[in-house]
A = this chain, B = another copy of it.
Amino acid sequence: MKELDFLKIISNTLENNKFLGDDCAFLKDFDIFVTQDTLVENVHFSMYTTTPYLLGRKSVSVNLSDLAAALSLPLYICVSISLPENIKDDFVKELYRGINDVCKEYNVIVIGGDITSSDKIVVSITAIGKRVCNFVTSRKNAKKDDYILVTGEFGSSGAGLYALSNFLYADKKIIEAHLNPVPRVKEALLLAKFVNSNIALMDASDGLVDALYKIAQNSKRTLKININDVPVNQSVIDFSNQNKLDYKHFIKWGAEDYELVLCVSEDIYLKLDKNLFTCIGRVQNKDNNPCVIIQDGASNETVNENVFEKYSFNHFKM
């Protein structure tokens, strides 16, 4: 778990580390949320499987997803790109056409950044959003009996990545889910209207169970879900069957679905549009060894630290 080790070192080295931990920082003095995500060639994407246009789109979308998970309205982004010296003008044009299109869809403005040369393509985007909700989202806020909700479907992006990496035929839907994810900004802004206390909310950028486990750990409560309640696209099941793979593995551990994972009280759950939010389980009592329990028919799988370390997404393992 090199990534977590490094985060520990960073947290110990910085004298003021009160902002570290969640994906977005909230700056009280300006009422803004700030997040920064970097995509590195051959780590987060490969130019053999994506296009400059889609890379531009995804670079923005993953940052807007972080702002959505903070129930914040995205407004501005800074774009820093590093490109090989021999890159074509058209690459830059297409990359920025993708950036522009997502910005237009969400009324976001590019306010600056820089462009430098490097061996590999690196896109680092900082996004700034406005506070539109009086309550805070955090991994820490899951409460007993909360409903565990998710937006969209799970497993598509993981299956898409598997198909692309192994040169397998797959339905367009799951390829697109991986290359052009939709940040759940609309859902987050709807949710913000109904929230009446601090809630647990994350995006599932590193996978569904990863998000659930982090909420469980930080809230010190076990989260129990039913895997068969998690929405999944039929094309993920078909793709898995065709290739003798377990589609439930994609649902649980496939990264980059960029869906929202949240724990809210019953009264909020009842107000939400069931077409946008699906209940997949409930939050349990306080627990000294918080974990994720995944119910599948009559059997229960327990995700504790060992299971988590084995399967969770880690950029330093790729």
Contacts and interface: CB of A to CB of B under 8 A. Distances in A.
A266 interface: no
Contact of A43 (B10, B92, B118): B118
B40 A112 contact: no
A110 B19 contact: yes
A128 to B, nearest CB: 7
A16, A89, A126, A316 interface centre (most CB from chain B within 10 Å)? A126
A29 B76 CA distance: 11
Given A76-B34, A110-B14, A9 B126 contact: no
Contact of A40 (B36, B44, B117): B117
B115 A36 contact: no
Interface stretch (A98-106, A188-196, A249-257): A98-106
B85 A116 contact: no
A116 B125 CA distance: 14
A109 interface: yes
A104 B16 CA distance: 9
A116 B25 contact: no
A97 interface: yes
Interface in A120-179: 120, 122, 124, 126, 128, 130
A15 B100 contact: yes
Interface string A7-24: 101100111111110111
Nearest to A7: B115
A118 to B, nearest CB: 4
Contacts of A7: 115
A10 B82 contact: no
Interface of A: 2-3, 5-7, 9-10, 13-20, 22-25, 27, 29-32, 34-38, 40, 42-44, 75-76, 78-80, 82, 85, 89, 92-93, 96-97, 99-100, 103-104, 109-120, 122, 124, 126, 128, 130, 315-316, 318
Given A24-B112, A40-B117, 7 more contacts: A13-B92, A13-B100, A14-B110, A36-B79, A36-B113, A38-B124, A122-B124
17 contacts: A10-B92, A14-B103, A16-B103, A18-B109, A19-B109, A19-B112, A23-B112, A25-B76, A27-B76, A30-B31, A30-B32, A34-B111, A37-B80, A38-B116, A40-B122, A43-B116, A82-B122
